[in-house]
Chain A
Amino acid sequence: MNLFGFGRKKHPPATAQTAKDRLQILLAHERSSSGSAEADYLPMLQRDIVAAIRKHVPIGDKDVDVRMERGDNMSSLEINIDLPAVKAN
């Protein structure tokens, strides 16, 4: 805005394109999971990981954190496991 309140307005970034891009990424994923609202294998995966690790290390149910980040070309799965502190013998 300049002195008289009109003239060259600064153009805000066009958000319509962002909306379209977000939708395309999301729907590509939702359609591939064939109608089911969301791939709900993450909780099962988390349970399996806990079970596998427990065979070797005593950990609790809450010690594994599974996150999924979906991208355009690539999705990443991040798994964080809190191992119990190793006690000095």
Chain B
Amino acid sequence: MTTEPKTNPPLGRVIVITSGKGGVGKTTSSAAISAALAKKGFRTVVIDFDVGLRNLDMTMGCERRVVFDFINVIQGDAKLKQALIKDKRVDTLSILPTSQTRDKDALTKEGVEKVLTELKADFDYIVCDSPAGIEHGAQMAMYFADEAVVVTNPEVSSVRDSDRVLGLLSSQTKRAETQGAEPIKAQVLITRYDQERVDRGEMMTVDDVLEILAVPLLGVVPESKAILKASNVGTPVTLDGPSAASQAYNDAVSRLTGTQVEMRIQGERRPGLFQRLFGRAS
């Protein structure tokens, strides 16, 4: 792992975390990925696009530090610097929370572009946490993206919605509309993967999902108790001590930044026979 010197000109790369379906782990993944990027030394900002249903602030543990938000900046009521919240754990990480009271129409294409352009001058990675659905908020989150992480559970409705979102990424975005532009680099992040259930034939395998969606795999995050534990205390799982989920997110982020990492699918350690017979350790 190399730590990028902070004096380099910023990369200014916009990554949207999207999925179509709700509840698959977009915000959890946005928090985990942005924290892992920042830990690697990349100047990273994570933006909440879910106007009206602000939740990234809680996942990141900064809900009591929100003064101004993304919408205030778009509407010119606050400066970007005032709205950015610096993370207290990793100094290369910032959070741009959204408004809890306005509605999604406050996100204008021009406004979003202006804020993103300003952020690109200071940050290596700009992570956009998309709302669920495929309406205006989700469209604004993906429109200016250079890369997309499509969060998918190995479950029929999630895979179907991911397919739909992949269609939108390749047609309803700036890169898609600009002649000669390279298309958005979309990758799928499979979350809530349960190897035990896959082995029993109860859950689609990674290969099943990839065969259907036909996009590269960014990583596989196993179903893990560490996720809820981390969100309970407002810590991105990648900053919350070792766990299979944290490892999987760190691997995914290494791939995102161009490092080859072997795809390993870890489950949580299963209790052995001894443990199962003689009570619950841990």
Contact = CB atoms under 8 A, between A and B. Distances in A.
Q: Is the interface of B mostly helix, strand, loop or mixed?
A: helix
B205 interface: yes
B278 to A, nearest CB: 17
Interface residues of A, number: 15
A12 B136 CA distance: 43
A19 B204 CA distance: 7
B220 to A, nearest CB: 15
Contacts of B156: 19, 22-23
Interface stretch (B158-166, B221-229, B233-241): B158-166
A14 B201 contact: yes
Contacts of B208: 16, 19-20
**Count class of interface residues, chain B:** 10 to 19
Contact of A16 (B160, B164, B202): B202
A30 interface: yes
A13 B159 CA distance: 21
Q: Is the interface of A mostly helix, strand, loop or mixed?
A: helix
B160 to A, nearest CB: 6
7 closest pairs, A vs B, by CB?
A14-B201, A20-B208, A16-B204, A19-B156, A16-B201, A27-B163, A23-B212
Interface of B: 155-156, 159-160, 163-164, 167-168, 171, 198, 200-205, 208, 211-212
Given A13-B201, A16-B201, A17-B201, 10 more contacts: A16-B198, A16-B203, A19-B155, A19-B156, A20-B211, A20-B212, A23-B159, A23-B160, A27-B160, A35-B167
Interface of A: 13-17, 19-20, 22-24, 26-27, 30-31, 35
